[in-house]
């Protein structure tokens, strides 16, 4: 069975161009299901067992995950991972999909993205320094990175995968599923990036744009960890994260009159439905304005 799992993941890498992060998540979910069957059902992960699974087995797995503190959203992703593996096996006529296709996805509450206030984010991007213990080039790096995330609505890994030699007014970004899209850098952002490059003590010409103290590529976990500390220093809201810059970009663009289709292209969303959630955010902001400024509310 381990060979089947490895071959399935290899197919996702080669044919679907899934990222390393996605592949690790898929493997972790399938191995979690395997462990559940062994520990709670007393059955090893074999083809014979997969053929005899019932809907109740999946429900028990979901309940067990919830008892461990995992969310319904996490269960939806885990089911998707296991379904992908089952599809791989079914394509080779090894199992039937009848049972797993009958398993209902756990219900999700609609979670609206949480942008930062426009005034808050602009003030944050223009501070003199983030940590007073940092050397100057680190401050220039962080300002360039955070400004880029907000300027272009990039995912954090999209930004961290940029090579220094690729920096230009117009750039190609490699997004999810190896999908390319064009972004444009505003003059102020381009200036901040170039200022960082000039101040960086490392030669970035042949490597990644954003590096750490030792000259190695930054990782998303490091950036979010750094932002967690900055939240306290600058009194930022709890949801301030690298991804919140992307949400803020989309929300503020919509509020300033950008059309939804353009925002979809800029964000690199596959379908418009993924972008439409930002109209709900804008409706929520509209209700806040109504409540705060209506004469009857003030009286």
Best CA proximity match to 142, nearest among 186, 192, 190: 192
Within 8 A by CB and 6+ apart from 216, the residues are none
Whether 18 sits among the annotated catalytic residues: the reply is no
Whether 26 sits among the annotated catalytic residues: the reply is no
Choose the catalytic residue: 34, 192, 246, 252: 246
- Residue 17: left (phi > 0), alpha (psi -120 to 50), or beta? left
Whether 269 sits among the annotated catalytic residues: the reply is yes
241 touches 121 (CB < 8 A): no
Distances in Å between the Cα of 60 and the Cα atoms of 25, 29, 55, 56, 236 are: 21, 15, 9, 6, 40
End-to-end CA distance of the chain: 69
Whether 176 sits among the annotated catalytic residues: the reply is yes
Choose the catalytic residue: 83, 114, 176, 231: 176
Choose the catalytic residue: 155, 192, 247, 252: 155
Whether 243 sits among the annotated catalytic residues: the reply is yes
Residues in the chain: 299
Residue 46 CB neighbour total at 10 angstroms: 11
Token pair 């972790």: residue: 28
Residue 237 CB neighbour total at 10 angstroms: 13
Whether 196 sits among the annotated catalytic residues: the reply is no
Best CA proximity match to 224, nearest among 142, 137, 144: 142
DSSP E strand stretches across the chain:
170-174, 180-184
Letter string b/e over residues 176-202, b meaning 16 or more CB atoms within 10 A of that residue's CB: eeeeebebebeeebbebbeebbeebee
Active-site residue numbers? Answer: 155, 176, 243, 246, 269, 278
């Amino acid at each position: 069975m381990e060979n089947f799992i490895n071959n399935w993941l290899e197919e996702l890498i080669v044919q679907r161009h899934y990222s390393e992060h996605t592949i690790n998540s898929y493997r972790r979910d399938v191995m979690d299901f395997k462990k559940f069957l062994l520990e709670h059902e007393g059955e090893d992960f074999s083809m014979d067992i997969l053929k005899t699974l019932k809907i109740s087995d999946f429900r028990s797995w979901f309940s067990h995950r919830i008892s461990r503190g995992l969310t319904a959203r996490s269960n939806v992703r885990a089911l998707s991972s296991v379904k992908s593996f089952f599809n791989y096996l079914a394509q080779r006529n090894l199992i039937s999909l009848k049972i797993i296709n009958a398993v209902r996805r756990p219900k999700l509450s609609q979670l609206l993205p949480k942008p930062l206030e426009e005034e808050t984010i602009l003030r944050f991007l223009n501070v003199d320094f983030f940590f007073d213990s940092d050397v100057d080039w680190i401050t220039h790096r962080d300002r360039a990175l955070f400004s880029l995330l907000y300027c272009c609505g990039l995912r954090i890994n999209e930004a961290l995968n940029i090579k220094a030699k690729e920096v230009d007014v117009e750039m190609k970004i490699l997004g999810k599923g190896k999908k390319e899209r064009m972004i444009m850098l505003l003059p102020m952002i381009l200036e901040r990036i170039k200022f960082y490059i000039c101040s960086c003590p490392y030669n970035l010409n042949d490597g990644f744009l954003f590096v750490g103290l030792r000259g190695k590529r930054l990782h998303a976990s490091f950036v979010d960890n750094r932002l967690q500390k900055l939240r306290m220093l600058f009194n930022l809201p709890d949801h301030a994260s690298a991804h919140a810059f992307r949400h803020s970009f989309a929300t503020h663009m919509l509020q300033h009159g950008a059309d939804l289709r353009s925002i979809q292209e800029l964000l690199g969303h596959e379908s418009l439905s993924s972008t439409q959630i930002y109209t709900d955010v804008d409706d929520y902001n509209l209700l806040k304005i109504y409540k705060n400024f209506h004469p009857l509310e003030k009286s």
